[in-house]
Amino acid sequence: MSVSWVEPGWPAPSGVRALSTFRTGGTSAAPYESLNLGDHVADAPACVAENRRRLTAAAGLPNEPVWLEQVHGTHVADLDGLGGVGPADAAVTRQAGRVCAILTADCLPVLLAADTGGLVAAAHAGWRGLALGVIEATVRALKVPPGRLMAWLGPAIGPKHFEVGPEVREALLQADAGGESAFAPNARGRFMADLAKLARRRLTALGVTRIYGGGECTFAAADRYFSHRRDGVTGRQASLIWLESRKGGGIH
């Protein structure tokens, strides 16, 4: 089976490319089978390197993606700056050919693009990142009016499978007191949480109103996605966004 992926169904401007990988088409053995792209999950390094090479070739990427050291925080790496990016949970670029990448296995990848082209970003929005404000930090880092941005919510654990305790609910509601509707109480005295709904609320509050995606559940689709909540030890899929060219204008 070949390397494959889903592309956002959004009206991104010419020159903006994005995709989110499926788990098939790689070389990793169980429990990472097969296109594991994470080098921090104890998979064989040679397999991860080959999987990344296959993705770069199959997708026609202009360069190897910039793989972040994700720590469930809010630091946004500027891929156009000098030196290394360090630990970060989001990345932005204005330069063609630099590929922003987010690794997930239930957390929510959020891709952002300016409607005139010339500026893209990706954020790793698990519940910790959402609670701390990673979406807000990423939008601020783009330094354009939020109304000029569009967002795509990639595959993540869905509300039928994401059970959290009251402490997680409280952490997520501290910065979004109106977000109670994203939590459904269950028979165990806990809550089923809707990550995509929480992210939409955060984006909308910032002024980003063109929001797409958010319907793919990593837990439910074992044939397509890795899921840490479902499998424990597992691989990681990647969500990528990059600028193919400067066509369509720029941000100045």
Q: What is the 3-state secondary structure (H, E, C) of 89-151?
A: CEEEECCCCCCEEEEECCCEEEEEEECCCCCEEEEEECHHHHHHCHHHHHHHHHCCCHHHEEE
249 found inside a domain: no
Going from the C-alpha of 208 to that of each of 93, 100, 149, 152, 201, the distances in angstroms are: 19, 20, 6, 11, 10
Going from the C-alpha of 43 to that of each of 29, 30, 40, 235, the distances in angstroms are: 8, 9, 8, 8
Decide if pLDDT at 251 tops 90.
no
219 found inside a domain: yes
Which string of b and e fits 80-92 if b means at least 16 CB within 10 Å? eeeeebeebbbbb
251 found inside a domain: no
**Tell me, what's the pLDDT at 246?**
56
Residue-averaged pLDDT of the chain: 95
104 found inside a domain: yes
**Tell me, what's the pLDDT at 252?**
30
Question: Is residue 26 within 8 Å of residue 50, measured between CB atoms?
Answer: yes
Domain count, the chain: 1
Decide if pLDDT at 249 tops 60.
no
Range of the domain at 222: 5-242
**Tell me, what's the pLDDT at 169?**
97
147 found inside a domain: yes
pTM for the model stands at 0.95
Q: What is the CATH number of the domain that holds 68?
A: 3.60.140.10
**What integer is the mean pLDDT of 106-123?**
97
Question: Is residue 164 within 8 Å of residue 194, measured between CB atoms?
Answer: no
% of residues, the chain, pLDDT over 90: 93
250 found inside a domain: no
163 found inside a domain: yes
Higher per-residue pLDDT: 81 or 104: 104
Torsion of CA 76, 81, 84, 87, to 10 degrees: -10
233 found inside a domain: yes
Higher per-residue pLDDT: 13 or 84: 13
Decide if pLDDT at 248 tops 60.
no
**Per-residue model confidence as pLDDT tens digits over 218-228:** 999 999 999 99
